[in-house]
Amino acid sequence: MRHLILSAAIPALLMGATPVLAHTATAPAQEKPVCYDCSGPDGAALTMQRPPPHFPRDLTPAGVAAADDHLALEQVDGAEAMAFVAEENRKSLAALTGDPRYETFRAEAQAILTATDRIPSPSFLGDGIGNFWQDATNPKGVWRRTTLASYRTATPQWETLLDIDALSKAEGKDWVFKGADCLAPDDTRCLINLSDGGKDAVVVREFDLTTKRFVDGGFNLPEGKHRIEWLDRDTLLVATDFGAGTMTESGYPFIVKTLKRGQTLTQATEVYRGDQGDGGYGVSPAVYRDKDGKVTAVIITRPLDTFRSETWQLAHDGKTTQLKLPARVSVYGVLNDALIFSPEENWNLPGGRAFKGGDLLSMPLAVLHAGVDGETIVSNAAPLIFSPNARQAVGDVRVLSDRVVVSYTDNVRGRAGVFRSNGERGWSRQDITVPDNLAVGLGDSSKSRGEVFVSTQGFLVPPTLSLADADAATLTALKSAPAKFDASRDVTEQFEATSTDGTKIPYFVTRPRDMKLDGSSPTVMLGYGGFQVSLNPAYKPEMGKLWLERGGVFVQANIRGGGEFGPDWHQAALDGNRQKAFDDFAAVARDLEQRGITSPRRLGIYGRSNGGVLTSVSITQHPELFNAAVIESPLVDMLRYHELPAGASWIGEYGDARIPEEAEWIAKYSAYQQLRPGQPYPRVYLTTNTRDDRVHPGHARKFAARLGDMGYDHLYYEDTAGGHSNDADPVANARRWARHYVYLSQQLMD
């Protein structure tokens, strides 16, 4: 099995849900003053004030809908919604593209995003190297391959496998390439994922690399949010929409079937069934193979909610066995009949063995079938591969044929090592020497070669791609990206802010070295704070060119909810503790002011997807701290997010607004309901995409409409293609970044 997966740099939102509950949750009557902003230390009430004018008196789903005067904007292609989009786009484009800076920003961003001297992102493909490439000539991109020897040269000789621009033109479709899954070991048969307009939903077609054509009569699946794996050359494992009643509330599959060549989906044979009430992104099969392509294990993950799951093994005879694993777990692969995994919660075993959430472990599958006990653990190879300390976290893991390669962070700085089992004597470790103070990421790996692609980069350091030899634990540099902006005048520093409960929150500042610390510097602060996603140092060339080169400051806040310090850092801000992430972000803003780095007049914030929750809440709770906010592809109406596809898949992160006590804590921060008249909100910029089938465009539309109703100046722009990932077209993406930085310049530099 070989995967080539295209995704955004910052992963976005990740659940099925329970049936609508009959209970009701009623907010206090609007004439009674209550605490609607309880974000002080230890939850102490800061203010006693009346509820916002659109705050539902009744927090049941029906009550929330009744208080919503913009439900029509949830109709993706509805007439009223599209008329609203057209008028908002007209006004926003006049303000943004009419700015004299726009064309310069657009041209600079396009030159970066379509540059031919970028590092071609590689994947192992048979005996060669595969790559998907987009530029000004091929904005939709070409899937291509070369040899490793040629790839090492300055001018690799590429062979085109599939031209997406030509395919789109021939078929009259707005195709977006969403990756390929090729069957090991020869990788000659591949499943190509094509999205219409950039949606998460894809059609799947079988492709032959020897003929460079789609296979006549081959596997061909209609559009859907599929979970597919090769079992053998003539058999797929498929989780998809098999008809009425086969999808969860979130719109994801819960049934796995084997699909034989020549069969239709209706003829496929069921091998596993979850439940319609399951959550997450749907049931998912994974096929693990040895270096020769032989199947070593088939693992099926059944998500119960966003983060809890059951793990099952599918045997050759078609029987499934549940593995005795914790509910919160990340599975990385199989090595010598042992499962490589991390419990994402503390795990206490019979016999006194205990492991921390975030530890990296290896346990025989046979042991996990029967259940772990003290004697079994002692009699088998030592299970603990790597145990991060309180300021460390496992990042990427690649399981090879006889060892495991791991990248991890140490106080949000990248490290890497190779681990090899020595039986009962435990696991030996060889550190891979990597540059200090940079992010370290693992790319594709090859079991047959014992090699892993490794990337390193920093805020001011362009990416370098290397090849790691796992046997020697050494790196060989393959390519270094040229600088795309002048970083000679800048410096990156790491500081800590103290949040309301005393927790230390790290953050990075990239700024001019000789900057005056008088609060006058225009500053953009990025945050995410969810789904255990870490914000590591990253080279952002468009930001450097359009912002840093013009004297701006960039801040990246590592707030709780992320994964920078492992599962505990994430889980500290789950559900009813969500306010901690918002408090952390505000604490960083105040710390920036105290250090003289910037001031509220010059401070703007940016967040997308889950980061849109963060930014929308930040301006409603603390408008005094910010003068700009780019709120992109956001969740904003948190009392109805579960009603909008695919919102219910995230209930494990935010809570379920259909449960009374959970609706109460969600309502306290949900920005759509918390908007008030007469507040010093900045002129915000909201932007989303009509074809986003992950975070519904209704969130951003409704927030913009309510801002307008209250008379607040704002900008709203909705692109009509590209989906959630914004990876459909680099030329369109250049326009997107130009709009962002024109707005930020207007608010913070003018």
Residue 506, preceding peptide bond in cis (omega within 30° of 0): no
> What span, in angstroms and rounded, lies between the C-alpha atoms of 140 and 168?
9
Would you give the end-to-end CA distance of the chain in angstroms? 53
| Catalytic residue status for 7 | no
Q: Which of 551, 526, 671, 684 has the alpha carbon at shortest distance from 605?
A: 526
Residue ranges of alpha helices (H) inside 99-217 are 102-113, 148-151, 164-171
C-alpha distances (whole Å) from 100 to each of 109, 552, 634, 741 are: 15, 18, 28, 12
> What span, in angstroms and rounded, lies between the C-alpha atoms of 279 and 266?
24
Q: Which of 564, 687, 510 has the alpha carbon at shortest distance from 615?
A: 687
User: Which is catalytic among the residues 570, 724, 725, 745?
Assistant: 724
In this structure, what token pair is assigned to residue 285? 């099969």
Return the SS3 of 411: coil
Longest dimension (CA), the chain: 74
The phi, psi pair for 5, rounded to 5°, reads -120, 130
> What span, in angstroms and rounded, lies between the C-alpha atoms of 572 and 562?
9
> What span, in angstroms and rounded, lies between the C-alpha atoms of 400 and 501?
43
> What span, in angstroms and rounded, lies between the C-alpha atoms of 97 and 202?
32
In this structure, what token pair is assigned to residue 96? 């943004």
User: Which is catalytic among the residues 309, 609, 616, 745?
Assistant: 609
CA dihedral 370, 376, 377, 379 (to 10 degrees): -140
| Catalytic residue status for 609 | yes
Burial class of residue 685, CB neighbours in 10 A (0-12, 13-18, 19+): buried
- Integer-rounded Cα radius of gyration of the chain: 25
What is the total residue count of the chain?
Answer: 750
The residues annotated as belonging to the active site are 609, 724
